[in-house]
Every structure is written in structure tokens, then in C-alpha cells.
Amino acid sequence: MSTDLHDAPEPIRSATSARSAASAARSAADPAAPPPPGLTPAAVATLHELVIDWFDAHARDLPWRRPDAGAWSVMVSEFMLQQTPVARVLPVHAEWLARWPRPADLAAESPGEAVRAWGRLGYPRRALRLHAAAGAIAHRHGGEVPGSHAELLALPGVGEYTAAAVASFAYGRRHIVLDTNVRRVFARVVGGVEHPPNATTAAERRTAEGLLPADEATAARWAAATMELGALVCTARSPQCGRCPVAALCAWRLAGSPPHAGPPRRGQSYAGTDRQVRGRLLAVLRASREPVPQAALDAVWHEPVQRARALDGLVEDGLVEPLADGVYRLPH
């Protein structure tokens, strides 16, 4: 146990305080936060030990987790893993790190090259934001990925989760790391329900803070371990409770694994949406090293109004650069 617990007085903030400051305050976990209701400090300590021991035995050997992986590798992985499965990220992450081993290397490229190298990971605006973040790191941070949550949060494409993840995984800092996996694990083990709320709540942050180990290195381990548990065992569909190290302590399990009550969880529609059209348009542009004539883009979608709206949106987002004479290319 750490003996240098210090008080972290809640800063008084006006309603107009900056988003980054407010988020940083939220994620800077209070070492004195109480355990969640119904859990004794001893139970929390048991939870830590069981989950971290399980992690030591079952963690996947992922490139961005290896001892020689730098903060840049971690940061690239976190961008790519935003809403994209690990299996699809692995090859692209390897390509990126080999091609752009430092943030400045990526920053020296055109944004279009980042979008092209993003391939089919999806949500290509992430490639643009990562490219912009690399530029900010190169120019404002001496080429080194910053280690503080606030500085990370100021980078494009870095939100509360990614800032905490990079600070924790790359720098061993103590932060609550609330991704979809961790939120689901806590919803079940502590909350006794099958699924967390749609959006992260203050109650979830309090729970996470109450569970966060006081010791910095243990906290970072805990963050990775709870995330891995959610990814491999405590999955959204058909969880493997028989392989769960904390099944005996799980509130959801102890309650008989009741199915999700509440309103149905909203899914993402896709077929026929602008997103699908944008995807097809960008696929054509990624595949061509030369600027693409309008006719080639027109061929991907039958409906002209939606097609034009999608293309306009891509241009608006900076993913496509219009040239003269109705010719388009990825941005230079």
C-alpha cells in the first residue's frame, strides 16, 4: 500500500471552466475515494489481486504492450482501437510503426497519406486526427508524446478515455480508464447488471475511482487487467463466466445473471446511410494514387443528392481535396 496518500481537494470550478480542465479533474482519481457501496476495502483488495493475477497469466501479447513499445506505439494503437477490433488493428499498426516510427515522421507526411495508410480500419477521420496530433507533438512537445492527462487531452482525437489510456499504459500514471470493456466489467461485478448505461455516468466514475488501486504502478496494471478481462472473458455477448477470476464475487452472477432490463440499447444503422456512401467514395480515392475524376466517384452510388451530400461532407471534414475541373484526391 502506498503511504503517501495525499488529499486531492476538489477544485472549485465555474460553469464556464474549460472542458479539458474539467475532464482532467474527473480523471485524476482521488486516492482517498471510498469503495463502491457494498464492497469493503478487503473485498476491493481481493478484487485487485484476482484480476491482476488473472491478467499476468492470460494477457495477450500485443505489440503495444511489449516492454520495448514506446508511447507513440501505444498512442497509435489507442487511436486505431477506437471502435475497431484488435485483430484488424494489428497489421495496420505494424505498418504504421515501421513507416513512421516517431510522431515527427508522420507529421512530415501529407494527411492524405495517413488516410490512405489507414486502409479499411473505418472512421477515417481518426487518421486525420492522429496525423494532426503527430504534428502538435512534433511542434509543441519536442517530438515526444506527452505524459500528462491534460496535455494528451488537448491533442486532436484524444478524449477522456484515450488520454487516460496513454498516460496509464505508456507512462504508468494513475488514472481511471473507462472504456466499454471496463464499464461492462464494473456494471456486472459491482452494479449487478448486464450492461452499463449508454453514456458514461458520474456514478460509473465514482465506482472506478473507488476501485482504483492507490499505488500508481498497480493502478496502471489494474486498468489494463480490467480492460483485458472485459475483452476476453466478460464479453458483451455470451460471457465466459466459467473462466472468470471474480465470478464468485460478481454481483450480476450472484443475482442469477438477470438479462438487460431497461430500454433496448440503440444500435448503429449503416446500410443506405451517408456513412456507407462516404465509405465507398473514400475507398475509390484511397485506391488511386492519381486524382480521381467525378465520373469515377459518381459510379459508387446511384442517388445523386445523397452522393453529393456525402462528397461535400468528406471535403468539409478534410478527408477529400477538390481540385479544379471536378477532380478529387486525398488531401495534400
Partner DNA sequence: CAGCCGTGGCA
Partner DNA sequence: TTGCCAAGGCT
Catalytic residue list: 78
Question: What is the residue whose three cell numbers read 475509390?
Answer: 284
Dig out the grid coordinates for 26 from the structure.
474527473
CB closer to DNA out of 31 and 196: 196
Residues contributing to the site for DNA (CB under 7 A): 62, 64-65, 77-78, 81-86, 88, 120-125, 129, 156-163, 165, 179-181, 184, 198-199, 227-228, 230-231, 235-238, 264-268, 270, 273-276, 278-280, 282-283, 313, 319
* Spatial contact of 213 and 172, defined as CB atoms under 8 Å apart: no
CB closer to DNA out of 237 and 302: 237
Least distance to DNA, CB of residue 20, Å? 9
CA-to-CA distance for 97 and 93, rounded, in angstroms? 6
Least distance to DNA, CB of residue 35, Å? 25
Sheet of 321-323, strands arranged across: 292-293, 327-329, 321-323
CB closer to DNA out of 12 and 199: 199
CB closer to DNA out of 39 and 204: 204
Which whole-number Å values give the CA distances from 227 to 29, 211, 293, in the listed order?
A: 17, 14, 45
For residue 146, which of 156, 137, 138 has the smallest C-alpha distance? 137
Least distance to DNA, CB of residue 70, Å? 15
CA-to-CA distance for 115 and 131, rounded, in angstroms? 9
SS3 category, 323: strand
Question: What is the residue whose three cell numbers read 472468470?
Answer: 244
SS3 category, 212: coil
CB closer to DNA out of 3 and 14: 14
CB closer to DNA out of 100 and 161: 161
Which whole-number Å values give the CA distances from 268 to 81, 271, 273, 314, in the listed order?
A: 18, 10, 10, 20
Q: Which helix (H) or strand (E) holds 293?
A: strand 292-293
Least distance to DNA, CB of residue 100, Å? 19
Least distance to DNA, CB of residue 17, Å? 15
The bridge status of strand 292-293 relative to strand 321-323 is: unpaired
Question: What is the residue whose three cell numbers read 520495448?
Answer: 68
Least distance to DNA, CB of residue 88, Å? 6
Radius of gyration over every alpha carbon of the chain, rounded to an integer in angstroms: 22
Least distance to DNA, CB of residue 40, Å? 29
CB closer to DNA out of 271 and 295: 271
How does DSSP assign 15-36, residue by residue? TT--HHHHHHHHHS--TTPPPP
For 99: left if phi > 0, alpha if psi spans -120 to 50, otherwise beta; the answer is alpha
